[in-house]
Amino acid sequence: MDLDIKIIRMVWAFVETLNPSSLLKLSDIELIQKLINEIERASFLSPEDSQNLSKYIGSRTPLIRDLVDTQL
């Protein structure tokens, strides 16, 4: 998996800025798609980047949920 550091930083920036309550209500698949959609609005993603990003976020959903939960 080869993701640009800029994209990885964007993931965590969106995790910190999006509404925590709404993120916690999403399933893992919905959470992954929500973050990918937000990043696609801000930056072009190739199909390969999108797939790699999905894997990256998917492997970190427990951490994302823990971080979001602390924001409540």
Question: Which pLDDT score, from 0 to 100, does residue 62 have?
Answer: 98
Reported as a single tens digit per residue, the pLDDT across 21-67 is 999 999 999 999 999 999 999 999 999 999 999 999 999 999 999 99
Q: What is the pTM of this model?
A: 0.93
Q: Where are the domains of the chain?
A: 5-70
Segment 1-26 shows an average pLDDT of: 95
Measure the CA–CA gap between 10 and 22, rounded to whole angstroms.
18
